Amino acid sequence: MPYQAEYIWIDGAEPTHGLRSKTRIIADGKKPEIWGFDGSSTNQATGSFSDCVLVPVFTCPDPLRSTGDILVLCEVLNADMTPHATNTRHAAAIAAKTYASFEPKFGIEQEYTFFQDGRPYGWPEVGYPAPQGPYYCGVGGSKMPGRDIVEAHTEACLAAGLGIEGTNAEVMMGQWEFQIGVLDTLAVGDQMWVARWLLERIAEDFEVEVSWAAKPIKGDWNGAGAHTNFSTKQMRAAGGWDAIIAGCEALGTRVLEHIENYGDGIKDRLTGAHETAPWHTYSYGVSDRGCSVRIPGGVAREKKGYLEDRRPNANVDPYTVTRLMVETICGAAAASAKKAPVAKKAPAATTAKATRAKK
């Protein structure tokens, strides 16, 4: 029997790229092939030279259709088969290959906000809900709107075989989180984009929209981020502490480049309030949710594990944040390995905390 393949790609919308998809019926026994689309309708080409190319890079079962139907995530290429300017996966693939020996792994915590009728889902038509406090990981009655969508999304991610790790309600009413990991550089980006597509698609059925905005409501309401957790083989191994500190230090050498690529509206979100560090300073510390980069308490106890970059926005491109972290952290490790084969002594777990002005 023929089956349905939903081709998914990332468009050229500004300031934040969005998702597009279309369906192709594929004959029994055939694999999804290269396809194309009208780039002039997605801000990826002009009308007079409109053909863009879709190259399948990741497929998984389609949990919303029938057995045998699939989702097909694609890279976008120009008509001459060169990577399209919006194709951030291409550069991520180069970084992943360059630093493959470090075996980088990621887990991304994706926060987002449901909207309906132009306001956060469940919010009153006029005014505000009760102030923040009861919503984070909350339960009960009308204060947790959207849970049925979250449940359906989790089931769908599991059925698709994605590396979903968990979900939680967030600090602002109508805001939620799911995590994807622990996965390689490209895999976490691929699976995050598919998980985002599934969430938007499922929310359609509930007549709800998903906002990836960094600060959907101004004022005393939390923003939405995409904390990006990172480790190398060395960080995960016994005695990985020195490599973790070196990673935190490396991130402090390219602060602005990261901030500028961590999503639209980042200065509105990284204010220094609401569990953020101000965008223009760089800091890291153990268990500190007011730092740019946090070393989880458990990691400090075990002296190995991973670090959490808390700065990326909910609307960050996962291919871009993973590429930058690999380039900055593995790049610095590779350079220092060349310079000094004997590792320098790093500060002890209890004293690791540094704050520096931006470079």
Q: Which of 17, 196, 227, 311 binds ligand ADP (CB under 6 A)?
A: 227
225 is an interface residue for ligand ADP by CB under 6 A: no
Would you give the binding string for ligand ADP spanning residues 231-270, x where CB under 6 A is met? x----x----------------------------------
182 binds ligand ADP (CB under 6 A): yes
- 3-class state of residue 4 by DSSP: strand
Residue number with CB closer to ligand ADP (103 or 209)? 103
Using CA atoms, how far apart are residues 116 and 66, in angstroms rounded to an integer?
Answer: 29
Question: Which of ligand ADP, Mn ion, none sits in contact with 231, Cβ below 5 to 8 A by type?
Answer: ligand ADP
* Rg of the chain, C-alpha, whole Å: 21
* Tokens at 124, concatenated: 């009153």
Of 19-27, 53-61, 133-141, 175-183, the window that binds ligand ADP (rule: CB under 6 A) is 175-183
Strand, helix or coil for residue 31: coil
Report residue 306 as tokens.
Answer: 């991973």
Among residues 6, 75, 177, 327, which is the contact residue for Mn ion, using CB under 5 A? 177
Q: Residue 165, interface with ligand ADP (CB under 6 A)?
A: yes
Q: Is 230 in the site for ligand ADP (CB under 6 A)?
A: yes
* Contact flag: residue 129 with ligand ADP (CB under 6 A): no
- Which of 107/174 has CB closer to ligand ADP? 107
User: Residue 223, interface with ligand ADP (CB under 6 A)?
Assistant: no
CA distance linking residue 8 with residue 58, whole number of Å = 10
DSSP assignment of 274-286 = SS---TTEEEEEE
Q: 């049925």: which residue's tokens?
A: 148
Q: Kindly state the smallest distance separating residue 97's Cβ from Mn ion, in Å.
A: 28
> 49: buried, middle or exposed (CB in 10 Å: 19+, 13-18, 0-12)?
exposed
Burial class of residue 27 (count of CB atoms within 10 Å of its CB; 0-12, 13-18, 19+): exposed
Q: Which stretch binds Mn ion (CB under 5 A): 227-235, 244-252, 256-264, 319-327?
A: 227-235
DSSP string covering 158-179: HHHT--EEEEEE-SSTTEEEEE
Identified binder of ligand ADP from the candidate list 63, 305, 312, 318, rule CB under 6 A? 305
For 92, phi then psi, to 5°, come to -65, -35
Binders of ligand ADP among 78-117, rule CB under 6 A?
105-107, 109
Q: Which stretch binds ligand ADP (CB under 6 A): 192-200, 224-232, 237-245, 330-338?
A: 224-232
Rounded-to-integer distance, Cα 231 and Cα 237, Å: 10
Give the residues lining the site for Mn ion (CB under 5 A): 109, 177, 227
